[in-house]
Copies of this chain bind each other. A is one copy, B any other.
Amino acid sequence: MDATISRRIFLGVNAAAGVGMALAASQASRAGAEEKGAVGVGIVGVGGRGSGLLGLLLGMEGVAVRAVCDIIPERVANAQKRVIAAGQAEPEGCSRSETDFERLCQRDDLDAVITATPWEWHTPVAVCAMKHGKYAASEVPCALTVQECWDLVDTSEQTGKPFMMLENWSFRSDNLAVLNMIRQGLFGEIVHCHCAHSHDCLSHWYHGSAKAWAAKYLTTHNCDLYPTHDLGPVLSWMDIGCGDYFDYITSTATDSFGPRDHYTRNFGPDHPLAKQKYTQGDIVTSVVRTKKGKTLVINYDMQLPRPYDNRWMIQGTHGLYNEQRNAVYIDGVATDWDPFPPYHEAYKHAWWREGSSADGHGGTDWLELKLFVEAVRNKTQTPLDVYDSVTMSCVFPLSGESIAKGSAPVQVPDFTRGKWETRKPYFAPDDGKFVRPGAAPVGRTEDGMLTQEFALGLRTPEVQLPGVSLRFTGDPTPHAGWAAAAGQPSHCMFAAEQWGIEIGVPKGSTGKVAVYAYDLEGVRKQTVVFENREPDRLDDFHKGVWVEHAFTAEDTEDGLLRLTVSKAGDVGNCVLSRLRVAVAE
């Protein structure tokens, strides 16, 4: 995946956070690399992807890049120059042969080896690194055969050295917020998941450069060639490896239609790429059933023209998250989709609350590398371990086996050797206190009243104030995820002309009602009328304004408070973002 695409994906969700964090990252002291206790890192493969990782490592405090390896000497030289330019000592260059990574792994001054070679070298390099006592990390997928999966597991277990596949999509802020929601029980017990890696890579990858090493897979394989980006978050969402595990997989591939069509249209029917026979089907659909009777659907979709997509959907007994709709549904809370962005905000993961970097696929590359380096420094387990890594990657060979057998079910080896039954979920722990949007807890005002605040724009505010109920009149359109300035709520309700709120309260009660109005564009004018009070005229609420009124026992004789908002200018709708109700006991 290229940075352009991921940046675009992330712009909507993380732009504000990312920018600040990039600053923090660039301020990190590069001098720290030569300090006592710096983590010594070797990088194998410094092409496009390895160069990106190198750049991130050079921006991290306390990391020393001491060796670089690539079969292309120019790349090694270029990487060495970059390390020197970053204020570190010249790293050793290893470029003598395809197996010169062995010399790199033998160095005493390395704590970890990171691999970003073509796919077929991921396992050999990582195994070699672990055998020489190094932490190992590799790009995706980490293994292409079941034997390679076992090689990684066996070596890690025998050497005691952790191995981590650098699956960055496990570290996306949206996916981690969904993980928090799952762990908070919002979706109930998870039952089913759909995920896809829909990414047109014909030009981008397979034949996009002179060194398009991946192209050969289109003419030699027929399987899910790239299952880890979609599976990354799913593993933690479904507790795969920690409470459940893959049981069997069936895979079905289409024939290959895309490449021939693409190359014929672009280069003519006589071009070798148009005439070539492609073994790899355009779309591969794999269905996994787990030991606990859950299912997940995985789609490979990388050689037809289309926008990037992951099509995540995770569904449980109480609701679901649907990435394509950018929406969630939670039973009993709403009767239709609720926008995801307020949930993303409310359940933001500690890793993103605390800060990250916008560098590298929306900050995910930086985050996964930072956490990997921390694990190396602290001699702890890596955030994704060897079992996670091979469980994601094994879909590559097993899908191929099922396809070759006419979609027959293929048993998934238990790479955890039974540990999945007792292991507890360990990925991305977060002890944050979360409050569902629209479900702010009941509190107390300074003068001792019970009070609760509601986000308007989500479908159903959850009223917990005793004796209080809410009803909307005038059919306001719930509209959350409205673009909002920093610090402003991203919720609002609209109606064309006029709408209102009826607040049921105990008869004869006293208290206060307040509404918050905020107008991003600064063009609206509206009036708010509470009960029989003088209208509050809002002529400029670009920066947000609270309108509060006390209510008396006389107001609540009928147990109902009425609030109406009407447009008072040229703009055809009127908005309120929040409602606060306080009732004296």
* Chain A contact residues, CB within 8 Å of chain B: 188-189, 191-192, 248, 250, 252-255, 257-258, 261-262, 281-283, 285, 287, 289, 292-295, 297, 301, 304-307, 315-320, 322, 324-325, 329, 331, 335-337, 406-409, 521-523, 570-572
Contact = CB atoms under 8 A, between A and B. Distances in A.
B289 A318 contact: no
11 contacts: A189-B257, A191-B304, A254-B289, A255-B294, A301-B315, A304-B315, A305-B329, A307-B336, A407-B409, A521-B572, A523-B572
Contacts of A521: 571-572
Dominant secondary structure at the A interface: loop
Given A258-B317, A409-B406, A523-B572, A250 B253 contact: no
A463 B572 CA distance: 36
Contact of A257 (B282, B297, B317, B407): B317
A189 B264 CA distance: 14
B287 A304 contact: no
B304 A317 contact: yes
A254 B406 CA distance: 22
A93 B497 CA distance: 52
A250 B407 contact: yes
A289 B409 contact: no
Contacts of A281: 293
Contacts of A409: 250, 406-408
A307 B289 contact: no
Contacts of A297: 285, 297
A295 B289 contact: no
B570 A522 contact: yes
Contacts of A289: 252, 254, 407
Contacts of A523: 523, 570-572
Given A289-B407, A315-B304, A331-B305, A252 B283 contact: no
Given A191-B282, A191-B304, A304-B317, A252 B522 contact: no
A268 to B, nearest CB: 16
